[in-house]
Structure 1
Amino acid sequence: MNFIEGFTFERSSGVAFYGAGFLTNAAFLQLATRWPQVSRRWREADAALADYGRPRGLHARLRLTAASLMCFALVEHVLANITNLVTSVTCSSGGFDWLRRYCQRAYPQVFSLVAYDHGRCLVFWATNVIDTFAWNFMDLFVMLLSMVLAARFHQLNSRLHALRGKMLTQNEWRRLREDYDTLCQLTRDVDSSVCNIVLLSCANNLYFICLQLFNSLKPMRHWGAVYFYVSFAVLFGRTIAVLFLAARVNDQSKGPLPVLFQVPSDSYCVEVERLMDQVIWDEVAFTGLKFFSITRKLILTVAGTIATYEVVLLQLNDVNAFSRTEQQSLNSTEPTVHASAGLGGMPASGPPTFTVILKDILTWYTPEPVLAAVQAVFMHNNGSPSAATEQEQSTAPVFMAGAPPTKDGLEAMDTESASPPPPTTPGDGSWWPDNDPGGY
């Protein structure tokens, strides 16, 4: 595949992958400059919530999530390399030719522009590994941050549920409201630092899901089919995990509402009202560069977008298949002689052009007297056609100038016993000149 032949959706995968890898590395470098402030703010929040203790089982869940995601990513990456390697070894001519074919197959966007070299191959292999790790780490980073913040909100919700229906003083309600506000402010501070990473994660995953759905319409065999299904399962599962875990922060931030709605009248105070207003009107969630908030509604929107794309893709695929079938049928059809219009057909040499279609429309739907009159006008303007040999007559253009066809002439054409003399040069009376770009 020559990458420079044309930039299509299929060939954009390499540009999207390496472009997203570059942007991801740049985003984490930018985050590194802000991380001391984020860490300090997080320590202050932990100190304010010290009496809640550490969330139970959080460390184990974080380790399990990280190990699972990286293992699935490793399996997917190894399968991708095995698929390219098997094809390269099969097509190699011996020696280290398999390495050249492997690199040209794995990095067509590079080696279609520059000559192959073992050093370049090693550099781009290392770049591919780094960008693959950055892509997976980006999703893992968002998932781990979401799990920690959601666990903190869950602690506060558990305490509120434990105090449901009890009489609390205004100071106790104020302390609960301040704890909730601390978590909300911490979430906003973290989101302001990682919102660009969240946007990259969502956009990258959505793009590659659409690309995999596009590739699903192609025939696959052996290792290619195995890699496709594993890759799509890992990609789809990881995307769902990122969205659900990030949306869980917003879900947990709305957790206090059921308890606040059941506060006894004797315990109701201005602090309860303030806390209720903050829970209802303050949207606490991760955002994609402030363009959208990750909630459960967004997950349904993304799922609907993917489903719409797949339906449109299937329809376009059906249309393309129908067009190819019709074209094959047109190319295999024998020429037809239209005696009533004085027309002889010849097989098309390629796809029907606008000129060919226009010619057929004029031939089929124009009345015979009109065609005869037009022929007479062209004969009068361009002069009489010159004589031609029998061989030239057999390859003459479809429509000739001359006198209107008579009954005897039409019968002669039907029996292929006579044909009008062809013009010798373009423009000397020919209805369709020899240099017709869509000629028969």
Structure 2
Amino acid sequence: MDIKRKARKEDIIWDRSIHNVFSWLFFAMQLFGFMPLRGIFKRDLSAIKFTWMSWISLYALLTSAGMFFMLATQVARFFIYNMHTQEMQRFFYFMKSWFVSWFFFVLAREWKDMLVRWNEVDEALARFGRPKCAKRKLNFGMVFFIAFFIGDYVLIQTQRTEQDILKHSVILSWKAWEHFQKHRIFKYIYELYPYNFFSSLCLLIIQLQVLFSGTFLDLFIMGTSFCLASRMKLITKKIKEMSFKRMESDEVWINLRESYNKLELLCCYINSKIGVAVLICFMG
């Protein structure tokens, strides 16, 4: 009976946890080399942790290294070729993606402390209700934006392929793959480095990671803002309800004020941890 009660308590804590809202988003991030957390789907929140000795951490480091390589290549081009608008655009684009990779790496190391503090405030404010459909809305937004960017990427590459087929009479073959990679997609890379098939695959993976880095950052900021705003809305609703009542004890108002202060402190704490993410969004 105690085991069942403990399991039930863990399920309740998991269902109410902010980590549950972000769990599928974190899973999608890890597919692209971001947010190296272990145990993201374990209902025991103590199992959620960051460790250097894991494949996902190594993958995240390689992702950051790949993005730094793209950034360094753009810097090298500034000294070799004339600097123009397209070069500057790519520079800020890759710099933003590199900052995003390191932001999620640092966030993964601090997520456990943030989660504990957030859960404490959530439990203290539970009497005001819970935000509804936060996880569902975030997952819907994630699926929509990922599908949108994949479709956009496929259409762009298809258009490039069709143009080359018509212009250069290129047929689909390994030679065509080399032509597309060397002269179309990664021309700015292979003007500096010799081409080989393995490097073209690595560059294609890095390009997809760069493409989705900003999307994941936007979704995380949107999800965090929505959860905090929903909690603030519940307290505001409670204040309005009490304002219409003629008689309320001072103790009730004091407790409400304490709850509001706790949420305000949580907002300040979260802002101190992820405020830089908002600045990164304006890059590139």
TM value normalised by structure 2? 0.66
Shift of 1:63: 2.2
SS at match of 1:186: helix
2:256 counterpart of 1:176: yes
Greater Cα radius of gyration, structure 1 or 2: 1
Contact 1:52–1:155, Cα closer than 8 Å, also in 2: yes
Alignment of 1:389-428 (within 5 A): none
Contact 1:45–1:183, Cα closer than 8 Å, also in 2: yes
Contact 1:14–1:109, Cα closer than 8 Å, also in 2: no
Distance 1:19 1:49 in 2: 40
Distance 2:120 2:169 in 1: 61
Aligned to 2:212: 133
Shift of 1:78: 1.7
Letter in 2 for 1:9: T
Alignment of 1:180-199 (within 5 A): 180-199=260-279
Distance 1:19 1:83, change over 3 A: farther
2:222 counterpart of 1:143: yes
Contact 1:92–1:98, Cα closer than 8 Å, also in 2: no
Shift of 1:92: 5.1
Letter in 1 for 2:218: D
Letter in 2 for 1:13: Q
Of 135, 141, 155, 1:65 maps to 141
Aligned to 2:111: 35
SS at match of 1:168: coil
Deviations 1:396-428 (A, max 9, x none): xxxxxxxxxxxxxxxxxxxxxxxxxxxxxxxxx
Shift of 1:49: 0.6
Alignment of 1:146-161 (within 5 A): 146-161=225-240
Shift of 1:26: 0.9
2:182 counterpart of 1:106: no
Deviations 1:7-43 (A, max 9, x none): 2112223322222212111111111111111001101
Contact 1:27–1:197, Cα closer than 8 Å, also in 2: yes
Deviations 1:89-125 (A, max 9, x none): 3325554332223213112221111122211111100
Structure 1: where are the runs of 5+ without partners?
A: 205-440
Deviations 1:162-184 (A, max 9, x none): 22232222211111111111111
Letter in 2 for 1:197: A
Aligned-pair identity in percent equals 23
Aligned to 1:378: none
Root mean square deviation of aligned Cα: 1.8
* Structure 1 or 2: more helix by fraction: 2
Alignment of 1:113-262 (within 5 A): 113-166=192-245, 167-204=247-284
Aligned to 1:45: 121
Letter in 2 for 1:107: F
Shift of 1:127: 0.6
Alignment of 1:252-291 (within 5 A): none
SS at match of 1:54: coil
Deviations 1:179-237 (A, max 9, x none): 11111111111111111222111223xxxxxxxxxxxxxxxxxxxxxxxxxxxxxxxxx
Letter in 1 for 2:240: H
Distance 1:62 1:12, change over 3 A: same
Aligned to 1:97: 175
Contact 2:170–2:176, Cα closer than 8 Å, also in 1: yes
RCO comparison, higher one (Cα < 8 Å, 6+): 2
Would you say how many aligned residue pairs link Structure 1 and Structure 2?
202
Contact 1:92–1:101, Cα closer than 8 Å, also in 2: no
Distance 1:85 1:16 in 2: 26
Distance 1:87 1:5 in 2: 27
SS at match of 2:244: coil
Contact 1:89–1:98, Cα closer than 8 Å, also in 2: no
Write out the 4+ residue segments of structure 1 that deviate beyond 4 Å after TM superposition.
92-95
Contact 2:97–2:214, Cα closer than 8 Å, also in 1: yes
Shift of 1:147: 0.7
Distance 2:218 2:110 in 1: 19
Distance 1:86 1:15, change over 3 A: farther
Deviations 1:294-343 (A, max 9, x none): xxxxxxxxxxxxxxxxxxxxxxxxxxxxxxxxxxxxxxxxxxxxxxxxxx
Alignment of 1:250-399 (within 5 A): none
Distance 1:39 1:80 in 2: 40
Structure 2: where are the runs of 5+ without partners?
A: 1-76
Deviations 1:255-293 (A, max 9, x none): xxxxxxxxxxxxxxxxxxxxxxxxxxxxxxxxxxxxxxx
TM value normalised by structure 1? 0.44
